[in-house]
A and B are shown apart, each in its own frame.
Chain A
Amino acid sequence: MNRRRLVLEIGAAVLLAAFGIWLLPRTLELFALINATVYVSMSLLALSLALIWGFGGILCFGQTAFFGLGGYAYAVAALNLTGTTGAIPIALLVPTGAAAALGYVMFFGRISDVYMGVITLTVTLILFNFVNSTAGDQWRIGAAPLGGFNGIPSTPPLNVPGDPGTQLTPEQIFAVAVGCLAGSYVLCRLVLASRFGRVVVAIRENERRAELLGYDVRLYKLGIFALGGGMAGLAGLLFANCVFVSPTMFSLFYSGQVIIWVMIGGLGTLIGPILGAILLQALATWAGTLRGVNPSLILGVILMLAVLAIPRGLLPTAGAALARIRGLRGEGA
């Protein structure tokens, strides 16, 4: 990708984010704005999977493990520290570290495709089961009871840095969330444009060849996986700020949904999964308001049709269609 296009895309992302931060709090009701914040945090989760799956070629069935860890790390740290500013780096470091450790086991153990899927899925299930069983008194970290099935409803929201007494309003948290999403998108773009990112994509294309060229494939995979884990953790932090942390963050349901969002949005793109996440969440909310029709039925049928009809996802299919139309016009001219 050339440098001009990169700068253009980054500029567009920043402008769009600024516009969203300006517009939505003025037009949406409070509860809709809180829902919008949930959408944004989920989009960030989808972006993190889009990075490691679409560009790193690593199919992670348990991206929610890092999402949940980020949320829990934030909640536990925020309850123990005065002020929540100090909890932010912890909420980023814990999932990044977990992803690095898991990545070490998988990539240095030379585990491939399906087996990697199973391991990531299993780790998520372990976390879900474990956190779900921490309702007893013995499970507390400092001042924070883990709460088991209940989760931690008393998760404190972010406060103004340096001023623990002033908590951010829902409007401000929405702005922070959009900022995080745009920032992460820019970060992904920059990473992929760097030498490191190009090697990662080369590995996805042909692992054997990249290895023969002298790259330590394991390290590159580990790097992109840990980055994705950290981003998922950030999404968890945002989620903890607009809902609260509970074991469902680790659930199979969410990990499945993220994969669906990325898949339908378009594997191998960054914007596609973000759009996919927003679109499908809106669809699920809409389906939930239908009387007599079960939302799972609608989502399931859509997913099946999508796999059969547009296996490459919405964005690439739309792009290809656009290119074809352009091509036809070009021929006509």
Chain B
Amino acid sequence: MTVTRRMALKTAGMALAAPVVLRHAALGADPIKVVGIHDASGGLDIYGKPMIACLDFAVDEVNAAGGLLGRPVQLTNYDPQSNIQLYTQFATEAATKDRAAVVHGGITSASREAIRPILHRYQTLYFYNTQYEGGVCDRNCFCTGSTPAQNVQKLVPYVMQKWGKKLYIVAADYNYGQITSKWITKYCRDGGGGIAAADFFPLNVTDFGPAIQKIQQTRPDVVISALVGGAHISFYRQWAAAGMKSRIPMASTTFGVGNESLVLSPEEGNGIVCAFSYFQEVDTPANKAFLQKFHAKLGAAAPYLGGELAMRTYVGFNLWAEGVRKAQSIDRLKVIQALESGVENDGPPGKTVIDGKTNHVTLNVFLAECADHGFKVLQSFPQQPPSDTASVCDLAKDPNANKQYVIDVRI
């Protein structure tokens, strides 16, 4: 077998995608076990692979600086293959067999709601580092991504002011899409607008022909997409192929968190507006320094970081590490208490502070539009609090809470 450069790349990709990647740092002491559960294959790998790369990078960084509490961090990555049932299996394994100090993982809200109860039951600390629909109220679970009060609340007024007040929602048919649509509806009505219709698509739908005709029939001013995963990318393709792209502008709560902007041609992607707590294009010295180190280490295998998921995984791990340093222990309760006291991280996306009342985070939000396979940052909103979750959840008062609150809005 001759080794070509393409093959070397593929092997590197496979090493990332392999079910178990163990990393032993060359430190003597008993290692601290950390488990990552992200999809390295299947329809959600467009999100999972960059997240794994960032988690690996964060762990290596901590180990290179001497580990935590003088002990090396040992990371085990599991690949649930975009299959929810494998998520539950690996979460059980992480809690009962590996006895991990913390589990970082979960991409879709469906996977989070599958593993969160398990980790709660087995008392294993859990970090969910993805932007999501908000409302999780569980002291054992830290959500370090942005939520609708931080992203949708910036996105919807912007597009309404720019293009018009009649919105059409196309969303993935599971809890993320359903609940996010409610938030879009709420902010749209708050701004005096209206929803033409909301359509939901299971994650495996690839034919959007009838949906595109339906959208034309209602003539909205803006289409907002909350579509998720590899199959749904064909919506953007078919939308452009039908010649709609120049006629009705589009915004999205998910576009670009994976590799969407890379796989679509500029004609298909350019101009789609998004709001996340990070874009690779964010122009700060901290981000530039990070990207330089990241690329120096991973070389050609470095993934495009796009929207926030991968970066939040990096920040999430560092928040946890900071909590451990502060607690001087990996004991679950002590780390939780340390984190809740307001641990912060000054990373590539700017300052991220844990809100002890909700176990969510205050962070910077950026509004950007897709431009030539990347993003152009238009506006930034510093230090946005997780006010959506905070309005329903108070872990200081009710430390035993273990549920997800859902906003009550009729579409």
> Do A's and B's CB atoms come within 8 Å in the complex?
yes
Spell out A's residues near B (CB within 8 Å).
Answer: 29-32, 34-35, 129, 132-133, 135-137, 147-151, 153-154, 243-244, 246, 248, 288-289, 291-292
What distance in Å separates the Cβ of B340 from its nearest Cβ neighbour in chain A?
A: 25
Decide if B175 is an interface residue (CB 8 Å cutoff).
yes
Given A31-B97, A135-B174, check contact A150 B202 (CB 8 Å): no
How far, in angstroms, from A292 to B273 measured CA to CA in the complex?
Answer: 38
Contacts of B200 in A (CB 8 A): 133, 135-136
Q: How many A-B residue pairs have CB under 8 A?
A: 74
Contacts of A153 in B (CB 8 A): 88, 113-114, 117
Nearest B-chain residue to A249, judged by Cβ? B85
- Residues A31 and B18 in contact, CB atoms below 8 Å apart: no
A-B residue pairs in contact (CB < 8 Å), sample of 8: A29-B97, A30-B97, A31-B92, A133-B200, A133-B202, A136-B200, A150-B84, A243-B85
Contacts of A246 in B (CB 8 A): 84-85
What distance in Å separates the Cβ of A79 from its nearest Cβ neighbour in chain B?
A: 14
Decide if B196 is an interface residue (CB 8 Å cutoff).
no
Decide if B110 is an interface residue (CB 8 Å cutoff).
yes
What are the interface flags for B147-181 relative to A under an 8 Å C-beta threshold, 1 for contact and 0 otherwise?
00000000000000000000000000111011000
Nearest B-chain residue to A289, judged by Cβ? B19
Contacts of A288 in B (CB 8 A): 19
- Residues B203 and A149 in contact, CB atoms below 8 Å apart: yes
Contacts of B97 in A (CB 8 A): 29-32
How far, in angstroms, from A248 to B92 measured CA to CA in the complex?
Answer: 19
What distance in Å separates the Cβ of A167 from its nearest Cβ neighbour in chain B?
A: 11
Spell out B's residues near A (CB within 8 Å).
Answer: 11, 14-15, 18-20, 83-85, 88-89, 92-93, 96-97, 109-110, 113-114, 117, 173-175, 177-178, 200, 202-203
Q: Which of A132, A135, A154 has the most chain B CB atoms inside 10 A of its CB? A: A135
Q: Which of B89, B97, B109, B117 has the most chain A CB atoms inside 10 A of its CB? A: B89
Given A31-B92, A31-B97, A136-B178, check contact A151 B173 (CB 8 Å): no
- Residues B96 and A248 in contact, CB atoms below 8 Å apart: no
Contacts of A34 in B (CB 8 A): 89, 92
Other A-B pairs, 12, CB within 8 Å; known A129-B202, A148-B202: A31-B89, A34-B89, A133-B200, A135-B177, A136-B200, A137-B178, A149-B202, A150-B110, A153-B117, A246-B85, A289-B20, A291-B19
Nearest A-chain residue to B93, judged by Cβ? A31
- Residues A29 and B85 in contact, CB atoms below 8 Å apart: no
How far, in angstroms, from A100 to B113 measured CA to CA in the complex?
Answer: 35
Contacts of A150 in B (CB 8 A): 84, 109-110, 113-114, 174-175
- Residues B174 and A149 in contact, CB atoms below 8 Å apart: yes
What distance in Å separates the Cβ of B205 from its nearest Cβ neighbour in chain A?
A: 10
- Residues A291 and B18 in contact, CB atoms below 8 Å apart: yes
What distance in Å separates the Cβ of A291 from its nearest Cβ neighbour in chain B?
A: 5
Contacts of A31 in B (CB 8 A): 89, 92-93, 96-97
Contacts of B109 in A (CB 8 A): 150
How far, in angstroms, from A274 to B85 measured CA to CA in the complex?
Answer: 22
- Residues B173 and A133 in contact, CB atoms below 8 Å apart: yes
Q: Which 10 A-B pairs have the closest CB atoms?
A: A149-B174, A150-B110, A30-B96, A291-B18, A31-B93, A135-B174, A31-B92, A31-B96, A153-B114, A31-B97
Contacts of B20 in A (CB 8 A): 289
How far, in angstroms, from A133 to B178 measured CA to CA in the complex?
Answer: 11
Contacts of A32 in B (CB 8 A): 97
How far, in angstroms, from A148 to B175 measured CA to CA in the complex?
Answer: 8
What distance in Å separates the Cβ of A110 from its nearest Cβ neighbour in chain B?
A: 35
- Residues B178 and A244 in contact, CB atoms below 8 Å apart: no
What distance in Å separates the Cβ of B86 from its nearest Cβ neighbour in chain A?
A: 9
- Residues A154 and B117 in contact, CB atoms below 8 Å apart: yes
Q: Which of B83, B96, B203 has the most chain A CB atoms inside 10 A of its CB? A: B96
Contacts of A154 in B (CB 8 A): 117
How far, in angstroms, from A3 to B178 measured CA to CA in the complex?
Answer: 60
Given A133-B173, A135-B174, check contact A243 B88 (CB 8 Å): yes
Contacts of A147 in B (CB 8 A): 175
What distance in Å separates the Cβ of B298 from its nearest Cβ neighbour in chain A?
A: 19
Given A34-B92, A133-B202, check contact A292 B175 (CB 8 Å): no
Nearest A-chain residue to B114, judged by Cβ? A153
Contacts of B178 in A (CB 8 A): 135-137
What distance in Å separates the Cβ of A138 from its nearest Cβ neighbour in chain B?
A: 11
Nearest A-chain residue to B88, judged by Cβ? A243
- Residues A292 and B14 in contact, CB atoms below 8 Å apart: yes
- Residues B18 and A244 in contact, CB atoms below 8 Å apart: no
Contacts of B11 in A (CB 8 A): 292
| B18: contacting residue among A133, A148, A151, A292, CB under 8 A | A292
| A244: contacting residue among B93, B114, B173, B203, CB under 8 A | B114
How far, in angstroms, from A304 to B177 measured CA to CA in the complex?
Answer: 40
- Residues B14 and A291 in contact, CB atoms below 8 Å apart: yes
Nearest A-chain residue to B85, judged by Cβ? A243
Contacts of B113 in A (CB 8 A): 150, 153
- Residues A148 and B174 in contact, CB atoms below 8 Å apart: yes
- Residues B96 and A29 in contact, CB atoms below 8 Å apart: yes
Contacts of B89 in A (CB 8 A): 31, 34-35, 243
Contacts of A132 in B (CB 8 A): 173, 202
Contacts of B83 in A (CB 8 A): 248
What distance in Å separates the Cβ of A248 from its nearest Cβ neighbour in chain B?
A: 6
How far, in angstroms, from A175 to B83 measured CA to CA in the complex?
Answer: 27
Q: Which of A147, A150, A289, A291 has the most chain B CB atoms inside 10 A of its CB? A: A150
How far, in angstroms, from A333 to B243 measured CA to CA in the complex?
Answer: 85
Contacts of A29 in B (CB 8 A): 96-97
What distance in Å separates the Cβ of B254 from its nearest Cβ neighbour in chain A?
A: 15
How far, in angstroms, from A151 to B85 measured CA to CA in the complex?
Answer: 10
What distance in Å separates the Cβ of B38 from its nearest Cβ neighbour in chain A?
A: 16
How far, in angstroms, from A34 to B109 measured CA to CA in the complex?
Answer: 24
What distance in Å separates the Cβ of B352 from its nearest Cβ neighbour in chain A?
A: 28
Contacts of A244 in B (CB 8 A): 88, 114
Contacts of B175 in A (CB 8 A): 135, 147, 150
Given A31-B92, A35-B89, check contact A248 B84 (CB 8 Å): yes
How far, in angstroms, from A243 to B91 measured CA to CA in the complex?
Answer: 11
Nearest A-chain residue to B113, judged by Cβ? A153
How far, in angstroms, from A146 to B114 measured CA to CA in the complex?
Answer: 14
- Residues B110 and A149 in contact, CB atoms below 8 Å apart: yes
How far, in angstroms, from A29 to B92 measured CA to CA in the complex?
Answer: 11
Contacts of B96 in A (CB 8 A): 29-31
How far, in angstroms, from A180 to B37 measured CA to CA in the complex?
Answer: 33
What distance in Å separates the Cβ of A81 from its nearest Cβ neighbour in chain B?
A: 20
- Residues A135 and B92 in contact, CB atoms below 8 Å apart: no
